[in-house]
């Protein structure tokens, strides 16, 4: 143990943060700890009906300290003495307004309970109007500043969320110095940063969500933003021109955070990145293999050698950025705005009478009601999956579209909604669950089809995360829909493992992320192959899915332009 080098990978997810203590020599998981965000769990600062999803920075800070200390306690002995590096990943785009010291406004006096002063979670879609304005503005401004983000800017991303926040809240607008991604703020916090201009921006977030590109020598010019809305004046100048890969170091643990965590100030803190990017590395991504990080949403990642992407621009995805996944390769990102969230929504729908009526029943005690509710909740999805898997495949089966949280890719449009057709009096819960599973898989195929249509072959699929390992029915349907074999990575925590690999790289334990992947990767232990008899059925169903989706898309009226803003921008 004394000769080992340990690293800590920290994965800030949608509902919780997970820390993992890992042996950098072989990837052995030594300890892990999970902390569920208490304010998020209680639904504070969120309004699902208006697509507002905010998270308080205190949830992140408390979870960071709790999980790291818990890992060190679990490992015991002198484990803490051997920790050489820490790296983190987060959801994204999840930015926040900070003051000149780099402190999120929600941690300053007067803003503690203000949702606009908190992190805007990736799935916050309150800025659909601003995203539409950015897209319209980019078409007439010149410079083709959306070319590396698939040609369409999303309401899930950095600039749309900033503009919406500035318009919504004058107090936040007046106090905000700059706008920072969650994955960039945590390393700044851990290294004791005190000036916002010292925040090191990772190329992952900057390139995929912030419009940074080497071809632009940084970000678009200030004129691009101020001519969109004068409220954006000067913000691009607070970002700097330089970006960093996740293989680089942000600095060392500050004395304050070393004391809080029980570690040394010699511990290296790596540059942060998005969970799906580090998860793809933790899942041992390979060139031309679609690496699917599957959770509440999905992120679909690919890495392509630089020469193969020369003069290629893929439309309708979440960006193509040099070094955003693996340094030295072009990283491509796509994904679905809702995947596991679709099943969670359906589960919540079915549990409504249990949660709202059973507790008031006069036939059982309140304790029995609670236990029964918990049991039904735990077993519901698994039981539905078994029943759905036994249903015959019929061309007239119920058919759904998966845009319950809008569409991320191909061709971002967060104003789209889901739908279901083919209902009859025989439609039951398993049949509808079958339709929801199929449609999430159809959404996955649409992404693969876009890559292939744009000249990027998809040689195979790597599936990562809890859904991939725990939902065999879903994965078999996906193999049938995609008509490709799907390899399942052995680790359920590829995001935290990927962060650990980058920590080992940033700390100099391994010379590159590729070497870290080879040394620390846990490999694959399961494969789903397409079932030949089912493939034609799903191919035909996919065509119907596309037609149904087109009907929904045609029913959504375009956002009206604001004449005053348009006139002001080009006067």
User: Which residues contact residue 166 at a Cβ distance below 8 angstroms, ignoring those fewer than 6 apart?
Assistant: 172, 173, 176, 229, 231, 232
Amino acid 559: pLDDT: 62
Q: Please report the pLDDT score of residue 560 as a whole number.
A: 56
Calculate what percentage of the chain has a pLDDT beyond 70.
97
Task: Give the angle 53-57-58 at the CA atoms, nearest 5°.
Answer: 120
Is 17 a residue whose pLDDT tops 70? yes
41-50: average pLDDT: 94
pLDDT tens by residue, 304-355: 999 999 989 999 999 999 999 999 999 999 999 999 999 999 999 999 999 9
pLDDT in tens, 161-196: 999 999 999 999 999 999 999 999 999 999 999 999
pLDDT in tens, 84-112: 999 999 999 999 999 999 999 999 999 99
pLDDT category of residue 295 using cuts at 50, 70 and 90: confident
The band of 566, judged by pLDDT with boundaries at 50, 70 and 90, is: very low
**pLDDT, mean over the chain:** 95
Cis peptide before 346 (omega within 30 of 0): no
| Strands annotated E in 337-448 | 399-401, 419-421
Fold of the 6-283+492-522 domain: Nucleotidyltransferase; domain 5 (3.30.420)
How large is the average pLDDT for residues 38-58?
A: 96
Mean pLDDT of 225-230: 98
Tens of pLDDT, residue by residue over 519-530, are 999 999 999 999
Location of each CATH 3.30.420.40 domain in the chain: 6-283+492-522, 340-490+525-555
Report which DSSP code applies to 92: S
Quick one: which H or E segment has residue 84? Answer: strand 83-90
Q: Residue 101: CA atoms inside 13 Å, Cβ hemisphere, count? A: 8
- Model confidence at 296, pLDDT cuts 50, 70, 90, reads confident
As beta bridge partners, residue 11 has 18, 89
Q: What confidence tier does 1 reach under pLDDT thresholds 50, 70, 90?
A: very low
Interatomic CA distance for residues 97 and 174, integer angstroms: 11
Q: Which CATH number fits domain 340-490+525-555: 3.30.420.40, 3.10.105.10, 3.10.640.10, 3.30.465.10?
A: 3.30.420.40
- Helix (H) / strand (E) containing 320: strand 320-322
Do strands 95-98 and 178-181 pair parallel, antiparallel, or not at all (unpaired)? Answer: antiparallel
- For residue 316, what are the contacts with CB-CB under 8 A and spacing of at least 6? 150, 151, 152, 409, 410, 411, 412, 450
Overall average pLDDT of the 224-238 stretch: 98
Q: Give residue-wise pLDDT tens across range 476-511.
A: 999 999 999 999 999 989 999 999 999 999 999 999
pLDDT digits 0-9 by tens, 436-491 = 999 999 999 999 999 999 999 999 999 998 889 999 999 999 999 999 999 999 99
pLDDT in tens, 346-375: 999 999 999 999 988 899 999 999 999 999
508: region left, alpha or beta (phi > 0 left; psi from -120 to 50 alpha): left
- Given a contact cutoff of 8 angstroms between Cβ atoms, the answer to whether 252 and 267 are in contact is yes
Residues 121-149 have a mean pLDDT of 95
């Amino acid at each position: 143990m004394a000769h080992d080098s340990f690293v800590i990978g920290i994965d800030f997810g949608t509902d919780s943060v997970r820390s993992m203590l890992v042996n950098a020599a072989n990837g052995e998981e030594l300890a892990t700890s999970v902390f569920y965000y208490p304010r998020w769990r209680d639904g504070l600062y969120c309004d699902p009906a208006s697509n507002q999803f905010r998270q308080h920075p205190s949830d992140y800070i408390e979870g960071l300290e709790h999980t790291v200390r818990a890992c060190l306690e679990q490992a015991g002995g002198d484990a803490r003495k051997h920790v050489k590096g820490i790296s983190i990943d987060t959801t994204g785009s999840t930015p926040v307004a900070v003051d000149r010291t780099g402190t999120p406004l929600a941690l300053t006096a007067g803003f503690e309970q203000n949702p606009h002063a908190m992190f805007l979670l990736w799935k916050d879609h309150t800025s659909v109007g601003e995203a539409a304005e950015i897209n319209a503005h980019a078409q007439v401004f010149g410079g083709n500043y959306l070319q590396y983000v698939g040609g369409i800017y999303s309401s899930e991303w950095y600039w749309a969320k900033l503009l919406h926040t500035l318009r919504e809240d004058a107090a936040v607008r007046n106090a905000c110095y700059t706008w920072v991604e969650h994955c960039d703020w945590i390393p700044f916090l851990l290294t004791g940063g005190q000036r916002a201009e010292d925040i090191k921006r990772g190329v992952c977030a900057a390139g995929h969500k912030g419009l940074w590109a080497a071809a632009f020598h940084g970000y678009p010019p200030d004129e691009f933003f101020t001519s969109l809305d004068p409220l954006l004046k000067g913000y691009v100048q607070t970002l700097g021109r330089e970006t960093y890969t996740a293989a680089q170091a942000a600095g060392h643990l500050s004395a304050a955070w070393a004391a809080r965590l029980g570690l040394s100030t010699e511990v290296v803190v790596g540059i942060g990145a998005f969970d799906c990017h580090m998860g793809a590395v933790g899942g041992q991504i390979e060139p031309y293999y679609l690496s699917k990080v599957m959770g509440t949403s999905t992120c679909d990642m690919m890495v392509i050698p630089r020469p193969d992407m020369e003069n290629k621009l893929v439309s309708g995805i979440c960006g193509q950025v040099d070094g955003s996944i693996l340094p030295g390769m072009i990283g491509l990102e796509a994904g679905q705005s809702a995947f596991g969230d679709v099943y969670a929504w359906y589960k919540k729908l079915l549990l409504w009478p249990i949660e709202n009526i059973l507790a008031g029943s006069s036939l059982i005690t309140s304790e029995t009601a609670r236990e029964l509710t918990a049991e039904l909740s735990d077993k519901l999805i698994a039981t539905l999956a078994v029943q759905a898997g036994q249903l015959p495949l019929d061309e007239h089966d119920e058919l759904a579209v998966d845009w319950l949280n809008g569409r991320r890719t191909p061709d971002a449009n967060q104003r789209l909604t889901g739908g279901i057709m083919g209902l009859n009096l025989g439609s039951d819960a398993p049949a509808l669950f079958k339709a929801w599973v199929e449609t999430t898989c159809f959404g996955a195929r649409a992404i693969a089809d876009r890559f292939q249509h744009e000249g990027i072959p998809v040689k195979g699929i790597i599936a990562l995360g809890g859904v991939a390992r725990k939902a065999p029915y879903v994965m078999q349907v996906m193999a049938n829909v995609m008509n490709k074999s799907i390899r399942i990575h052995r680790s359920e925590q590829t995001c935290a493992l990927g962060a650990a690999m980058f920590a080992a790289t940033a700390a100099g334990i391994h010379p590159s992320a590729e070497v870290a992947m080879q040394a620390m990767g846990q490999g694959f232990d399961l494969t789903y192959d397409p079932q030949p008899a089912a493939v034609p059925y799903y191919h035909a169903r996919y065509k119907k899915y596309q037609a149904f989706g087109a009907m929904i898309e045609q029913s959504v009226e375009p956002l009206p332009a604001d004449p005053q803003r348009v006139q002001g921008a080009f006067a």
